[in-house]
Structure 1
């Protein structure tokens, strides 16, 4: 694993995508930064992080995703890898808020953003961005956020985390072909608020019903959230169509 450490950067994902476009980088090359000025979350949301306190990393993954239908498989690999590492650090009550926010209790402690690039030869190259709240303890402006330090009551060696997470990703990728069903079940079982009635907000402006109740049933093979509605029908939504209210 090649690790490139930066002090400050606009976005580790953008930096790694740029490097990958100019050079034949080794698989699982990792970029970390102490400060990120333009950190991104799902749908362009900003990722705010106190300098030097948290893990900001991006990893290059090649030769795993071969079609658009397989893209969500990598989300499962990454989410479960982070969960496994955090369990080994005795972080409790972990779950995955669809599609790939990492939760402890009801607080968000991490977010994953995977960006895929289709190469001219048909290969799909993925850049996996991860922001993980590690030693930051002040979340006055982010009431739904927390960190490993807050939850566990101690500080952590954040520089050890990239190696632990990437090694776990490599392990699961190697096992995917024979264990994909097991991993999908682990992902389903780890879903935040699965099987519990909860409110949702429709992000579709053409939908007359903006807020509605539903029960998360699971996730489709291409990553759409499956929700049981009040009329007993099950609908599928992508990230641009629905928001959980909790």
Structure 2
């Protein structure tokens, strides 16, 4: 069960780092989760840090033994986690919630949360996945360097206890991870792509210094994004290979 047990940390640098340390002791059971609303050095994708005031965020990391998936299908775990996180946020903020490829949670065109999955391998054996999910919960505003961030408080006008958000998230993740099975791969990937930010909508992107207009057409089973340029050229892009041009620049 996801979130059984659930440990509440008063303060921690990064819940993902803490979870990794606990997994390395060899004494952790699959589904164990660690939560804090006071993360002092949160981790994002590609080494970005993520910092907030105490009580403003819900930071949750889960240790999962991914016995339901071969390593070659690891993107399906990202799909399940993104769908679970989106399900949770929809229940709190409404159905304008979308998934920004590969695994950010957006409300309209603003970032409400992020996901970071780190794998523990022993040789070619996928021993554990450390699933980190952070939501913006109670921030009344964001600094200028975060122009496209948004919190649940800003969306709904209501403050929430961050731990309660984490508990809803655990239940949503449990539901989605249970669905991981070869017979469901195609349907889960189809649902994931249909819920993507900018799905089938022309918009601006940047790659290798070039800004261009393109349209998301598909996501492949290995996670590659298929982006069609206005010229008709189809790009097959891996994580970190393309930048979404956001906000007022996207015209």
Q: TM-score, with normalisation over the residues of structure 1?
A: 0.91
In structure 2, do the counterparts of structure 1 residues 99 and 161 end up closer, same or farther at CA, with 3 Å as the change threshold?
same
- After superposition, what is the alpha-carbon deviation per residue over 1:78-123, rounded to whole angstroms, capped at 9, x for unaligned? 1111111222224340100111110111111000011111125723
Conserved? CA contact 1:65–1:71, under 8 Å: no
Counterpart in 2 of 1:144? Answer: 148
Conserved? CA contact 1:95–1:191, under 8 Å: yes
- After superposition, what is the alpha-carbon deviation per residue over 1:134-154, rounded to whole angstroms, capped at 9, x for unaligned? 111111322200111110111
Counterpart in 2 of 1:63? Answer: 66
Deviation beyond 4 Å, 4+ runs, structure 1: none
Q: State the shift of 1:237 in Å.
A: 0.8
Q: 2:169 aligns with which of 165, 168, 172?
A: 165
Secondary structure, in 3 states, of the residue corresponding to 2:184? helix
Counterpart in 1 of 2:195? Answer: 190
- After superposition, what is the alpha-carbon deviation per residue over 1:210-240, rounded to whole angstroms, capped at 9, x for unaligned? 2222111121111111100233121111122
Q: Distance in 2 between matches of 1:165 and 1:107?
A: 20
Q: 1:43 aligns with which of 42, 46, 49?
A: 46
Q: 2:83 aligns with which of 80, 95, 117?
A: 80
Q: Give the CA RMSD over aligned residues.
A: 1.7
Name structure 1 gaps, 5 residues minimum: none
Q: Distance in 2 between matches of 1:112 and 1:215?
A: 23
Conserved? CA contact 1:28–1:166, under 8 Å: no
Q: TM-score, with normalisation over the residues of structure 2?
A: 0.89
Counterpart in 2 of 1:21? Answer: 24
